[in-house]
Structure 1
């Protein structure tokens, strides 16, 4: 039997992540206040890195539940964000989905200090990553939908 050598892959390529735009019945958007760096103390969309062997959709649902306590259903793709400077640690390509809550109750964990729904007209001033741009794109696209 032929045994392949063990290979350790060290890629300098981008990391894949997913973020969720989650709206409630009042059309408010769900944000979490980060307890960890980068952007500690700033508001962000729920989301995170995709694990090896995991689909982007499963990663998104897992991350939203871990960070907020809510189980979500993905409704549609919102957009792809790939600016190499969107995260100060490394180059992350983020695939963002529009989701709705199907069950669960808000609960925080070590990454998240606060969970809150914001109206689109009263978003927090201090936001992390490029999440203000992602939300602005969402607002702009809503006006184009019929």
Structure 2
């Protein structure tokens, strides 16, 4: 989307582009334990899948592995692509699009809250905390459907 603005220095016309910001999320699943969720320290509040913004110069895969480690202390192996979520209202701060991966860890006991996470824990899919941030309830429903072969 093209937006016209005025230059604060000369008053001239500036064309600004408003593009969605790329993010990643990871559904870290451990059979018998459930999925990893982190409690957000910063707004918007709630429980969320580990994830965050893609840094300039990194791939979405690199960002997913980095964000998972920063928020959970887990070294994650990505096992697949769950989907891309781009509803303009998915993040109340700005229009983001998230590339969502599935993943696993070799050491689930290493789980600990880090970075901007207040807490991190495994939750059984039948017993998730509330509220869930962003559109993560929808993402988790899609993951559930994949587990039972409906997606």
TM-score range, shorter chain: 0.7 to 0.9
Distance in structure 2 (CA, Å) of the matches to 1:141 and 1:27: 17
Choose from 127, 137, 142 the match for 1:137: 142
Structure with greater Cα Rg: 2
Deviations 1:50-91 (A, max 9, x none): 011100000000000000100100000001100000001111
Q: Within the alignment, does 1:16 sit opposite 2:22 as a pair?
A: yes
8 Å contact kept, 1:67–1:112: yes
**Unmatched runs of 5 consecutive residues or more in structure 1:** 1-9
Displaced runs of 4 or more, over 3 A: none
Deviations 1:89-139 (A, max 9, x none): 111010100000134712223511111111111111211000011000111
Q: Over aligned residues, Cα RMSD in angstroms?
A: 1.7
Q: Within the alignment, does 1:35 sit opposite 2:35 as a pair?
A: no
Choose from 115, 120, 137 the match for 2:120: 115
TM-score, normalization by structure 2 = 0.83
Alignment of 1:1-146 (within 5 A): 11-26=17-32, 28-39=34-45, 42-103=46-107, 105-144=110-149
Distance in structure 2 (CA, Å) of the matches to 1:141 and 1:109: 29
8 Å contact kept, 1:28–1:117: yes
**Unmatched runs of 5 consecutive residues or more in structure 2:** 1-15
Total equivalences in the alignment: 135
8 Å contact kept, 2:47–2:131: yes
